[in-house]
Every structure is written in C-alpha cells, then in structure tokens.
C-alpha cells in the first residue's frame, strides 16, 4: 500500500454485546466480511476483542474510513462506541492486512471502562497491542 495524501487512522473501542459462547463465530464473521469488503475500499486495519469490548483500528482514504465507520457504528453486536482517535497519518500500521486479527485479549487494561477513561493513552495502548499481535503473527506466517 502506498502512502495516500488523505490517509487517516481511526481507533475505536465499543462494548461487546456478543454472548461469550457465540463470540468466536461472530468475530470470524466480522473478519470474513472485512476481508471481502475492505480491499476494494483501500482500507486496512486490525481488530481485537476482550471480555467486554471490541477495539479496532481502521486506516485508509478519509472518505472510505468515514463510510466504513458509519457502517460499523450501526452494527447491533456492539454499542457505546467511543472514538479513541481519528487523525491523518503518514503511513499505515497494518498495510498488509485487510483486517488483521489480534485475538482475544485478557489484560485488565483492555477492559471497556479503563479504555474509555483515557482515550489518548488508550489509543496508543490498543495500537501497541494490535501491532504486537500482528507482528507475532507475521513472524509465524513468514
């Protein structure tokens, strides 16, 4: 992926409403949909979920990210969407991934209430977790 002049990144966290028994299937469905749809939009990103929340980073052309965010916002599998960050960036973190999956995170710091309390710190923390997980996955795949 090349650097686009209007490249933006969005990081949100939301409350996960999927019952734990159905969580894995739900996440797989989300990832499948993302991988089908995102390449055409030029959007890449990564997703994680914890006990009570989803956290996702989307990066791509401004208009595509905005449209995708609005679409995601209306999904009934989550609510209380909090935008941790929305800003122009010079490069992508997950350029190789239509939607990387960082898995099920159990750290206490990735609980919904903790994350929304300090949006800017949380954005960095979520991105670190996503990058770390994706980096490890890349090594395994290499």
Residues that bind other proteins (CB under 8 A): 6, 8, 10, 12, 29-30, 33, 62, 65-67, 69-79, 81-83, 85-88
CB of 117 to other proteins, least distance (A): 16
- Which of residues 88 and 135 has its CB atom nearest to other proteins in the complex? 88
CB of 68 to other proteins, least distance (A): 10
- Which of residues 4 and 114 has its CB atom nearest to other proteins in the complex? 4
- Which of residues 10 and 102 has its CB atom nearest to other proteins in the complex? 10
CB of 135 to other proteins, least distance (A): 24
CB of 109 to other proteins, least distance (A): 21
Residue 104 CB partners (closer than 8 Å, separation 6+): 23, 48, 49, 50
- Which of residues 87 and 138 has its CB atom nearest to other proteins in the complex? 87
Radius of gyration of the chain (CA): 14
Contact 15, 113 (CB under 8 A): no
Give residue 114's Cα distance to chain centre: 17
Going by their DSSP bridges, the two strands 53-61 and 7-16 should be labelled as antiparallel
Reference 125, options 77, 57, 65; nearest CA is 57
């Amino acid at each position: 992926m090349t650097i686009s002049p209007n490249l933006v990144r969005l990081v949100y966290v939301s409350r996960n409403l999927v019952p734990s028994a159905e969580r894995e299937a739900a996440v797989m469905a989300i990832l499948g949909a993302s991988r089908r749809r995102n390449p055409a939009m030029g959007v890449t990103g990564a997703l994680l979920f914890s006990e009570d929340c989803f956290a996702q980073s989307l990066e791509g052309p401004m208009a595509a990210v905005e449209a995708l965010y609005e679409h995601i916002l209306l999904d009934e599998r989550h609510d209380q969407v909090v935008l941790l960050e929305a800003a122009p960036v010079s490069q992508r973190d997950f350029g190789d991934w239509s939607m990387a999956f960082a898995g099920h995170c159990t750290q206490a710091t990735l609980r919904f209430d903790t994350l929304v309390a300090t949006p800017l710190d949380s954005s960095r923390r979520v991105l670190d977790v996503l990058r770390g997980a994706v980096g490890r996955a890349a090594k395994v795949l290499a």
